[in-house]
Amino acid sequence: MKNLVDNMIHKAKVTYNQANAKMKERFYDMTGTTSASVKEIADFIKNHPDSKLNKKNYLGLQFSFYKMELRGIHYYLELKDSSILQVDVHDQNEQIVAYRSYRDKYSLHTPIKFPALEK
């Protein structure tokens, strides 16, 4: 019985987060607010020619650390194999994005208010 209740609670949370992401996406589209998902930001950092890559191997797992500064904005991406563990974007005055896979409730595809990504 406890398993059934736990599954129902989990499904409700997932459904709520998906609905929240869709509402945000529509709101940003309607208002013309630029946004990007954590996945899009991570791909931008990973594929940008100015990104500095540092790879480490711990206990047989491959970790990749990307750092970049672009027009006064600092970008940081941490991957385990190909899974996104951490994404940070900040300028001198404020944190723009702080994503941690182990604690954040939104998915990698939830839109976040973010300045347009330019290569």
Number of folded domains that form the chain: 1
Do the beta carbons of residue 112 and residue 33 sit within 8 Å?
no
Instruction: Give the pLDDT confidence of 76-111 residue by residue, as tens digits.
Output: 999 998 899 999 988 888 888 888 888 766 677 677
Closest CA to 17 of 111, 114, 113: 111
Residues with Cβ < 8 Å from 62, sequence gap 6 or more?
Answer: 55, 56, 80, 81
Instruction: Give the pLDDT confidence of 1-34 residue by residue, as tens digits.
Output: 677 777 777 677 666 555 555 554 554 444 454 6
Q: What is the pTM of this model?
A: 0.70
What per-residue confidence (pLDDT) applies to 115? 65
Residue 25 lies in a domain: yes
The number of residues making up the chain comes to: 119
Do the beta carbons of residue 65 and residue 80 sit within 8 Å?
no
Residue 119 lies in a domain: no
Range of the domain at 17: 2-113
Residue 27 lies in a domain: yes
Residue 49 lies in a domain: yes
